[in-house]
């Protein structure tokens, strides 16, 4: 294993913190473990040479690869299902009743390989039923990784990936795609808009959201960055809108204006 020198560790963690908000200051063993063999295979014998190579890649592909290797894009269908039940039973009826525009504005921030926004889309399409044609029901899904976004757009999942989904969803929203693989239908895929977006960027959205899902993403951010992003989420929600974070997360340690609804669910007053 190539050992990570102090100056290399400081340079890498400082750059990623400043540009992506991801705090890796306590992740030195993880950086060594995930990068050592990889940079050797590329022909580098130290981390700084590889880091400079990644920074100078004009396509930004290598920096995206670096971020992917140092953060865990772990997700699956119906992860933390209580959130989806709340969205189905509380949020959608509220949107349907209160809003006359029939313009659904729901954002999956940190969508990884697409399971969360596709789940939200299936719940939404089921709820709207025959009325779906009169709605703009597109879910916005964002991530900083082009690799996972490309996988999400493809919408191809293994048989094991969709095992926990209701049979009615599998029949309606998936089609077989070779041996033990399933692909989302065109209807479902077109109902999710995937975008590359860095949460440190300004939130210059044309319209506010009714609900934002940002689950198990802010665990990589330090307190100041979390506080800033929580405020930005608040500002782009409509009054009464909901913010969902991971079940292991809480906003109780941060200054914010959200109303606590239930564990990991917050509402803009």
Instruction: Calculate what percentage of the chain has a pLDDT beyond 90.
Output: 72
* Residue 180 scores a pLDDT above 90: no
Residue 138 DSSP one-character state: P
In this structure, which CATH number among 1.10.510, 3.40.1000, 1.10.155, 1.10.3470 belongs to the domain 6-70? 1.10.155
**Winning range, highest mean pLDDT, from 10-19, 23-32, 167-176:** 167-176
pLDDT in the model for residue 146: 86
Confidence class for position 73, pLDDT limits 50, 70, 90: low
Has residue 61 got a pLDDT over 60? Answer: yes
pLDDT at 109: 97
The stretch 32-57 carries a mean pLDDT of: 93
pLDDT, position 72 = 60
Which residues are the active-site residues? 34, 143
Name residue, tokens 């609900």: 211
Residues across the chain:
269
Torsion of CA 251, 253, 254, 257, to 10 degrees: 60
What pLDDT, in 10s, does the model give residues 77-115? 887 899 999 999 999 999 999 888 899 999 999 998 999
Please tell me the predicted confidence (pLDDT) of residue 99.
87
55 contacts 63 by C-beta, under 8 angstroms: yes
For residues 23-34, average pLDDT: 88
Boundaries of every domain in the chain? 6-70, 81-268
pLDDT at 198: 93
CATH fold label, 81-268: Rossmann fold (3.40.50)
Q: In whole angstroms, what is the distance from residue 173 CA to residue 166 CA? A: 11
Tokens of 107: 């954002």
Q: Identify the weakest region by mean pLDDT among 20-24, 94-98, 170-174.
A: 20-24
Is the pLDDT at 74 greater than 70? The verdict is no
Mean pLDDT of 12-19: 91
Q: What is the pTM of this model?
A: 0.81
Please report the beta strands in the chain, taking only residues with DSSP state E, as ranges in sequence order.
Answer: 106-109, 139-143, 156-158, 174-176, 181-184, 192-196, 209-213, 237-244, 258-262, 265-268
């Amino acid at each position: 294993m190539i050992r990570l020198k102090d100056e290399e560790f400081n340079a890498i963690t400082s750059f990623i913190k400043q540009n992506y908000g991801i705090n890796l200051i306590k992740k030195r063993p993880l950086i060594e473990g995930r990068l050592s063999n990889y940079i050797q295979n590329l022909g580098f014998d130290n981390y700084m040479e590889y880091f400079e190579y990644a920074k100078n890649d004009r396509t930004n592909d290598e920096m995206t690869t670096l971020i992917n290797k140092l953060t865990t894009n772990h997700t699956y269908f119906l992860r933390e299902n209580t959130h989806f039940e709340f969205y189905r039973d509380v949020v959608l009826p509220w949107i349907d009743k209160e809003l006359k525009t029939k313009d659904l504005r729901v954002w999956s921030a940190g969508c990884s390989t697409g399971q969360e926004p596709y789940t939200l889309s299936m719940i939404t399409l089921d709820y709207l039923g025959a009325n779906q044609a009169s709605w703009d029901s597109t879910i916005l899904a964002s991530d900083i990784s082009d690799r996972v976004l490309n996988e999400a757009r493809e919408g191809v999942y293994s048989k094991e990936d969709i095992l926990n989904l209701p049979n009615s969803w599998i029949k309606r929203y998936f089609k077989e795609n070779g041996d033990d693989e399933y692909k989302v239908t065109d209807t479902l895929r077109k109902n999710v808009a995937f975008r590359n977006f860095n949460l440190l960027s300004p939130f210059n959205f044309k319209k506010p959201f009714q609900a934002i899902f940002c689950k198990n993403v802010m665990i990589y951010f330090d307190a100041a960055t979390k506080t800033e992003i929580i405020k930005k989420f608040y500002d782009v929600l409509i009054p009464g809108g909901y913010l969902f974070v991971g079940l292991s997360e809480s906003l109780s340690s941060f200054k914010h204006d959200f109303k606590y609804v239930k564990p990991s669910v917050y509402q803009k007053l």
